[in-house]
Structure 1
């Protein structure tokens, strides 16, 4: 047996890939977390899509529950990217960074849709001289009070991308701007060819080919469906496909068919009449397949209504009279349970379409369906800290309606990389009879650099030939040392809705504080304001200590996934507690701060939180003034210094500085500050009592009964 090896040195990543000539095997094509040839960070927690386009392979990634999105080392979130592979034995390069190229400061967590689409008609329906193939990327940006959907079209000649903000609006009422699919369809009545794009809850929009535009697609001003008077969808449309020369899309438990014409309208051809969880989606993976009961095409999909989903594969057959008949094919949950010999409590399948390939042995078209699942028992096969199976399973559906299960990189065993979910499949564009498979699903768990892409000969992926395990890529971690240093503190301020302040305090007293401790979230104090306007009196202020910024990220994720905490949030008395999103700032304690020495155990005093905001760029001057001139006067005037901090990250409003003081009572507060002002005014040095006027907020607080600092 002859062996050949290839060693890649790229940044700090070292990839060692061995090939046993003549012996098929799996190969890891991408392992997130390295610097590419242009100096860009190639990472991601998930691979969302794989697309072959003009002889190259492209992948869309996402950064859900990835440190570079949640706690970016350079202060700006790492947005979703499109990666490019130029040759089979090459290295993936960053081709598009959605955050850096939109020109509007928007940030995109996931590369929601990536497709190579072909236009044959112009916007009036005229035939193009040559069909135009475009690589199109769509992603949603969601912010506190709204959202937007952007589209990028690749300019293959100049090797860049053209951005277009397709739609933006409010997120009130739970509206989520999350595109999931796109499809080209030519209207049978008008002859106009359109690219249909789902925007999330807002609905479906369309665009036509326009050679005069830089991005080549002219998007309509109004939604195609639902129209202005009809509101929005309750859940996100997850799939769009064409079957029997008609356009279909799914939303929740319903499938809609477009009735072409002017105006176009939509009719519901299936409604499963069951409530669906918008995060899971209902009908998933909507795809056209050959009708096994007659002519034409059927619609194949997975039914996943909620947290107890069995991922039932269903098929909708045309009945020849304009209607449809519904048939169950198989339960993915049952298939997975039999394959692993363990109880499976939940499955989620078909993140994208049911991927069609032609069996090289028989010539028939078969379909590949990726999925993930929770298992009970065989805990060594779980992704640590979750119930999810650690391997990546997929089903192969044949024309006779039989199903077989297979795994990426063969059977999962402890010690192998956690893969969880194959989301995307694509035949190789490199004439090597291979197939690329990419995925992972963060599932609300920390997934730093867990995106992956494997490649194998098609006969290996279809289970016709046994392939050896891949020799995995080894690389050094590029995690920023700054995120690992500590300790540091976190100041959080909650604003309760009117009439809910007492319930908010009760939630912290009876539940939150205890669950915090379970996840190493160390609370140093809980306070509420002693006065001020009604809105400001409804605040709750608390201070946490973390071993590092990365520990804070990890512990908060674990806390948010705590099952008891989820049950607490489900209680009616604890719903709708907040008037706005909590404020949070991470703080580095100053060397002279005395927080470590403080132990106030007797209730009754007054705390004073002072937040200094200085927008003239005089960071050093502010801190020097505080340390050298203000602090020495605290003890003279009966003030007790609890702690002093500077922000871990530079605040957007300018330089800030935080100070927490303690007083015996409110009368002492006024007397102390009057005396301190007199002392400062009597100094002959050119100082700067002006700094005293730079504070943006002063909050007088009293400790709650369960607060460690009383």
Structure 2
């Protein structure tokens, strides 16, 4: 009796020290990861989404992402927080950051999403010679986008050293809507040549292959040329989402099409299925391509989700080999119907199978079941929505059995108002820790603010498969508040647009008739709108404006809400408002200097010319420059008819260390030249300039200036 009590006390103490309630760990759901903390090495472990879970050599790894997370949008240290690989060493330990892709690529690239994480096994050398012992590698891949271009990188883990080796797989232009977004990878052995290769989707550019090579760092040598499509065919219209091997053949999906590889020295590809329907590249069309046992005969079938666009019903489909080299198509179930029946609500849209449909053996029956995470918009029962969206706030997944029956379950039991939103399981993985449990990770940001919303739960397998009910986990952790500096304000934002030739008037019309009104609806307060007063035609097609936000964090939230506004989406759908910009808008956030209000002049009446000036200082000189303006320059400006309107320093790093931006006013353009000549010749200014720069000039380069005229709808006239 005493022994049983002692064991109970010790077990309970173990779970308490691990941060897990004993009852939850034994009987039901427990939370394994809640984003937003510093790990044992002081690295920030966060994320808006968990995109992959992978068991590798006795440990569990997760790939997170930072889409719609403020650490990506508002970098706390100047560099955006890139996707990470997290590591779990034991079932009840804390997750540690194993790889930070932004700090581990050597090219200054930044990666928003953990697109691919997979444990792959090579059995042959590149020549086709069999290994005496298979080689197992953990491979991560992610896409990076930059001005008019993009790249896909891979990282391979050195399990002995605990380090990762980076390879730049491919890079190129993003013109024409090309997206460099890897999504899946698979090992395949060519039946003709005997070559074993790893195949990876790069996004719209296509499929690339690589071989195992012991002599190169990272052990994978990526081919210099794309495997498919070939040069004459150009890029894919939609990014490929799935790659799998069935019956010894490599398949991949793109849009509404499934291709198969025809092996040989010069491989080719052929379509085995084509729905001949346009697909939304964000949704993808055919999703979750998975190999399963053929229920109607020998060999293997392909299971997938058909989700063509914004009215997706998520039809689960299957194609079976017919024994004659072709396939028959079968509809199994619509996830929209399963969701509606489960919630007793009207569902208008569903999306699922972010990755493959995860296979796992039901130990009770010996059958292989497949798990499909999904999400959806609900029109009724609005109290079950994720606030600010139509999405159901819980995390639903379907369990598919071999007899093609389905059961819908939910991570951490049914959502109810007041519970923390989870929104869509994305990744599943059977525990590598010999505890017969299943780990599930997820959240889908869906263009909504999602700071630290990534999560991972675990449950005994019989609970996760719905064999018995499990207790609900008490969700640990709180949604972290942003850095206090991000909550202070106001903060201003300077934005510069460059219009395409012949489209400048349409850009002005869009702002006058629509944008300005929608800005105000979402807390984006216009300070002024201007157009250049002089310069060559290309520079005169610029549109410049300044917004005021309550704080830097509010600016982030305001822009998200503006971008999701239905009225704004309808504006963008109008043909005369499409294709207006020649390049991505330039944006810089600013905070007013402590002397801006002290030296500010009232602008009497409408008219006149504004002058926007930008100074970049040498290291350590910004404070001295501000002091000179505070004590001398602004007053001398006044003496010569130069009106002081605003003075700002850049808010975000690294510009905050060297940037002063200010706005002046003159009676007219000719008077501006007169004012500046008088200022430069002023004896007091000459003395201030000489004495202040005894130890070197303040500016690292000549000032940039633009003369501006206010538009008819500008608050500042």
Cα deviation, residue 652, structure 1? 5.6
Indicate conservation of the 8 Å contact 1:58/1:82, yes or no: yes
| 1:708 matched residue in structure 2 | 715
| 1:95 matched residue in structure 2 | 98
Alignment of 1:285-684 (within 5 A): 285-475=288-478, 477=480, 479-594=482-597, 600=603, 602-615=605-618, 617-651=620-654, 655-680=658-683, 683-684=686-687
Given candidates 28, 37, 43, the residue that maps to 2:46 is 43
Indicate conservation of the 8 Å contact 1:140/1:177, yes or no: yes
Given candidates 34, 58, 61, the residue that maps to 1:31 is 34
Given candidates 146, 165, 168, the residue that maps to 1:143 is 146
Indicate conservation of the 8 Å contact 1:69/1:78, yes or no: yes
| 2:225 matched residue in structure 1 | 222
Cα deviation, residue 541, structure 1? 1.1
Aligned partners of 2:276 and 2:683: how far apart in 1? 73
| 1:83 matched residue in structure 2 | 86
Counterpart secondary structure, 2:133:
strand
Question: Unmatched 5+ residue regions in structure 1?
Answer: 10-14
Indicate conservation of the 8 Å contact 2:24/2:30, yes or no: no
Question: Which stretch of the first structure deviates more once superposed, 693-702 or 478-487?
Answer: 693-702
Matched, 1:104 2:107: yes
Aligned partners of 1:147 and 1:297: how far apart in 2? 36
| 2:237 matched residue in structure 1 | 234
Cα deviation, residue 298, structure 1? 0.7
Counterpart secondary structure, 2:21:
strand
Counterpart secondary structure, 2:569:
helix
State the TM-score, normalizing by the size of structure 2: 0.95
State the TM-score, normalizing by the size of structure 1: 0.96
Question: Which stretch of the first structure deviates more once superposed, 512-521 or 225-234?
Answer: 225-234
Cα deviation, residue 646, structure 1? 1.0
Question: Which stretch of the first structure deviates more once superposed, 612-621 or 396-405?
Answer: 612-621
1:177-234: CA deviations, max 9, x gaps?
1000000011111111111111111111111111222211111111111122221111
Indicate conservation of the 8 Å contact 2:609/2:709, yes or no: yes
Indicate conservation of the 8 Å contact 2:59/2:90, yes or no: yes
Indicate conservation of the 8 Å contact 1:601/1:709, yes or no: no
| 1:175 matched residue in structure 2 | 178
Aligned partners of 1:505 and 1:693: how far apart in 2? 34
Counterpart secondary structure, 1:442:
coil
| 1:12 matched residue in structure 2 | none
| 1:134 matched residue in structure 2 | 137
Aligned partners of 1:694 and 1:80: how far apart in 2? 35
CA 1:296–1:601 in 2, change beyond 3 Å: closer, same or farther? farther
Matched, 1:255 2:258: yes
Cα deviation, residue 551, structure 1? 0.8
Indicate conservation of the 8 Å contact 2:336/2:349, yes or no: yes
CA 1:644–1:684 in 2, change beyond 3 Å: closer, same or farther? closer
Question: Unmatched 5+ residue regions in structure 2?
Answer: none
Counterpart secondary structure, 1:74:
coil
Indicate conservation of the 8 Å contact 1:613/1:654, yes or no: no
Counterpart secondary structure, 1:172:
coil
Indicate conservation of the 8 Å contact 1:606/1:702, yes or no: yes
Aligned partners of 1:616 and 1:474: how far apart in 2? 40
Aligned partners of 1:140 and 1:432: how far apart in 2? 35
Indicate conservation of the 8 Å contact 2:151/2:172, yes or no: yes
| 2:195 matched residue in structure 1 | 192
Cα deviation, residue 617, structure 1? 4.3
Indicate conservation of the 8 Å contact 1:527/1:704, yes or no: yes
1:663-694: CA deviations, max 9, x gaps?
22223212211111111477445246976995
1:622-663: CA deviations, max 9, x gaps?
222222221111221122211111111245697221111112
Indicate conservation of the 8 Å contact 2:128/2:196, yes or no: yes
CA 1:599–1:653 in 2, change beyond 3 Å: closer, same or farther? closer
Q: How many residues align?
A: 705
Cα deviation, residue 20, structure 1? 1.6
Indicate conservation of the 8 Å contact 1:204/1:224, yes or no: yes
